[in-house]
């Protein structure tokens, strides 16, 4: 097992980060295109397709704690994380292909089919993602090295996001030009992206073999697992004050970010009148900003600490968004500033906050004597699913109130005004709540190192007592 003071090599960080490509490809492909596919290719009504999509988010929230609990209490020669990552690879590939496959059933059976496939997809994705996320906490227990590890993961994640946002429609159009039907082209595209996803996961499973050693500390006897035990464990975790404040930080931030991202498409389409090509170019710019900002965020974290760095970026984002509400984003320079601001804050969240969840693992060990990386990161996944739904629900309610007409090419003044508000100052309300929760998060760099020192002293004392 990697010790707390050992620096991770470039190869080790790349080996861990590889699977972040698969994470981004699978996650972005589903969230960006599944509604479009179900309504325009599979022939489902928009309300039905929306319900199926929402079902997936609900199931994702429910399955996260289960996977986290199982991966914490597993015992295999591959360790307790990689066995799940490898085991869910093929189901993830199969569910991606089958979810983007048209079927010649009755309408009611088609609804059941896609509902089942959405559940199969999220089960497989979460089965890989939670152990992968938790594995990062076992690579190193060094405060700064964890930020560096997440920086590599963020870099690979951005590559996967760029690919899965830009390439699917291009691949579909290319296959159609070869004479393939639209439905078949989407199935093949899903297969191509699925293979990329699985390959990246397998690479991490292979390269991380020497780092996933926590399973060796478990008893060779299989642990007894129970639903009551799982609930008891999560209740214990929710008594950890740092975890509660960090969950609130994530919840409020992700509600704000969900509004930023979802409303931005409306803003570009109706307020600025952009066509599909221009919207794609703006989205690509946002991905490039995310990639460029990764090393800068890492430097800021090392100069201060993770909490301070995130607070600085969040405060700057809020100030810029409020300022842009009065300046108006109707020029290219203003639009570029906005894209950069939202790109940086998104990159910062996925780079910094996961590393902070890793730090809670040491706090849990100090308070309870247990290391439950899987359970801790799984509750963040639960919050992510819930926050995305809350953000979309709030945005939908505001647009409905403002009289937005989805069938119209032009919107009324009130609708345009509130689309603009939801692009700028409305999400800042939730960002401010997130900033306050982050301020209350007690684990700074100084306190983490003190915590590590106390843990080491306790372990040495236990060792001497045993001798």
Which residue, among 411, 390, 389, has the nearest Cα to 399 in the 3D structure?
411
Average pLDDT value for residue range 306-328: 93
> Which pLDDT score, from 0 to 100, does residue 357 have?
95
The tokens describing 273, both together, are 């009148």
Alpha carbon of 210 to those of 77, 199, 236: distances in Å?
12, 19, 31
Which residue, among 120, 121, 287, 131, has the nearest Cα to 193 in the 3D structure?
121
Given pLDDT bands bounded at 50, 70 and 90, which one contains residue 421? very high
* The total number of residues written for the chain in this structure: 467
> How many CB atoms are located within 10 Å of the residue 367 CB?
14
**Cα-atom radius of gyration of the chain, to the nearest Å?**
22
pTM of the model: 0.83
Which residue, among 246, 264, 288, 304, has the nearest Cα to 162 in the 3D structure?
288
> Which pLDDT score, from 0 to 100, does residue 237 have?
93
Tens of pLDDT, residue by residue over 177-222, are: 999 998 999 999 999 999 999 999 999 999 887 665 544 444 444 5
Which residue, among 75, 147, 410, 176, has the nearest Cα to 302 in the 3D structure?
147
Tens of pLDDT, residue by residue over 374-404, are: 999 999 888 887 887 788 778 878 888 888 8
Long-range contacts of 264-271 (CB under 8 A, 24+ apart): 264/342, 264/423, 266/399, 266/404, 266/419, 266/422, 267/329, 267/419, 267/420, 267/423, 270/410, 270/411, 270/415, 270/416, 270/419, 271/416, 271/419, 271/420, 271/423
> Which pLDDT score, from 0 to 100, does residue 219 have?
40
Which residue, among 397, 249, 387, 260, has the nearest Cα to 321 in the 3D structure?
260
Tens of pLDDT, residue by residue over 359-378, are: 999 999 999 988 889 999 99
CA geometry: angle 147, 144, 10, nearest 5 deg: 70
How far apart CA 255 and CA 15 sit, in angstroms, is: 31
Q: What residues contact residue 334 under an 8 Å CB cut-off, 6+ apart?
A: 324, 327, 328
Q: How many CA atoms lie within 13 A of 241 on its CB side?
A: 6
Given pLDDT bands bounded at 50, 70 and 90, which one contains residue 102? very high
Element (H, E) at 182: helix 182-207
> Does position 88 have pLDDT exceeding 80, yes or no?
yes
> Does position 332 have pLDDT exceeding 70, yes or no?
yes
Higher model confidence: residue 271 or residue 399?
271
Could you tell me the maximum CA-CA distance found in the chain, to the nearest angstrom? 78
Q: What residues contact residue 10 under an 8 Å CB cut-off, 6+ apart?
A: none
Alpha helix ranges (H) inside 267-370: 276-303, 306-327, 332-368
> How many CB atoms are located within 10 Å of the residue 240 CB?
17
Give the best-scoring range by mean pLDDT among 18-22, 103-107, 323-327: 18-22
Percent of the chain with pLDDT over 90: 50
> Does position 282 have pLDDT exceeding 60, yes or no?
yes
Q: What share of the chain is helix, strand, coil (3-state, %, to 5)?
A: 80, 0, 20
Residue by residue, DSSP assigns 112-160 as: HHHHHHHHHHHHHHHHHHHHHHHHHHHH---HHHHHHHHHHHHHHHHHH
> Does position 156 have pLDDT exceeding 50, yes or no?
yes
> Does position 291 have pLDDT exceeding 60, yes or no?
yes
> Does position 11 have pLDDT exceeding 90, yes or no?
no
How far apart CA 418 and CA 395 sit, in angstroms, is: 10
Average pLDDT value for residue range 160-176: 85
> Does position 8 have pLDDT exceeding 90, yes or no?
no
> Which pLDDT score, from 0 to 100, does residue 407 have?
66
> Which pLDDT score, from 0 to 100, does residue 224 have?
67
> How many CB atoms are located within 10 Å of the residue 348 CB?
26
pLDDT, averaged across the chain: 87
> Which pLDDT score, from 0 to 100, does residue 217 have?
43
> Which pLDDT score, from 0 to 100, does residue 287 have?
85
């Amino acid at each position: 097992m990697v010790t707390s003071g050992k620096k991770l090599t470039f190869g080790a960080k790349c080996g861990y980060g590889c699977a972040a490509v698969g994470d981004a490809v699978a996650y972005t492909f589903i969230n960006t295109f599944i509604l479009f596919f179900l309504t325009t290719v599979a022939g489902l009504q928009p309300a039905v397709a929306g319900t199926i999509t929402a079902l997936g988010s609900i199931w994702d929230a429910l399955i996260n704690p289960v996977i986290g609990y199982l991966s914490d209490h597993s015992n295999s020669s591959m360790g307790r994380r990689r066995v799940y990552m490898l085991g869910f690879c093929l189901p993830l590939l199969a569910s991606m292909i089958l979810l983007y496959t048209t079927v010649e059933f009755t309408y009611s059976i088609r609804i059941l089919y896609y509902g089942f496939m959405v559940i199969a997809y999220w089960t497989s994705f979460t089965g890989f993602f939670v152990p992968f996320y938790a594995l990062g906490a076992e690579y190193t227990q060094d405060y700064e090295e964890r930020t560096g590890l997440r920086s590599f993961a963020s870099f690979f994640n951005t590559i996967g996001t760029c690919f899965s946002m830009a390439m699917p429609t291009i691949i579909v159009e290319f296959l159609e030009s070869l004479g393939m039907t639209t439905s078949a082209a989407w199935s093949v595209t899903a297969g191509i992206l699925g293979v990329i996803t699985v390959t990246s996961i397998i690479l991490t499973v292979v390269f991380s073999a020497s780092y996933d050693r926590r399973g060796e500390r478990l008893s060779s006897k299989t642990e007894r697992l129970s639903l009551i035990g799982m609930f008891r464990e999560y209740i214990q975790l929710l008594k950890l004050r740092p975890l509660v404040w960090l969950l609130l930080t994530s919840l409020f931030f992700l509600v704000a970010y969900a509004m930023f991202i979802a409303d931005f498409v409306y803003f570009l389409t109706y307020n600025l009148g952009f066509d599909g090509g221009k919207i794609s170019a703006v989205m690509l710019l946002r991905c490039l900003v995310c990639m460029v900002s990764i090393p800068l965020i890492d430097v800021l974290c090392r100069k201060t600490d993770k909490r301070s760095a995130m607070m600085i970026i969040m405060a700057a984002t809020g100030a810029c968004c409020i300022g842009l509400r009065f300046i108006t984003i109707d020029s290219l320079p203003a639009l570029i500033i906005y894209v950069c601001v939202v790109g940086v804050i998104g990159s910062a969240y996925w780079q910094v906050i996961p590393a902070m969840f890793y730090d809670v693992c040491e706090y849990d060990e100090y308070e309870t004597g247990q290391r439950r990386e899987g359970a801790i990161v799984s509750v963040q996944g639960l919050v992510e699913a819930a926050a995305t739904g809350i953000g979309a629900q709030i945005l939908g309610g505001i647009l409905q109130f403002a009289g937005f007409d989805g069938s119209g090419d032009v919107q009324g003044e009130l609708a345009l005004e509130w689309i603009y508000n939801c692009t700028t100052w409305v999400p800042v309300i939730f960002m401010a709540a997130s900033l306050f929760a982050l301020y209350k998060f007690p684990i700074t760099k100084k306190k983490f190192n003190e915590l590590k020192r106390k843990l080491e002293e306790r372990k040495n004392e236990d060792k001497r007592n045993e001798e």
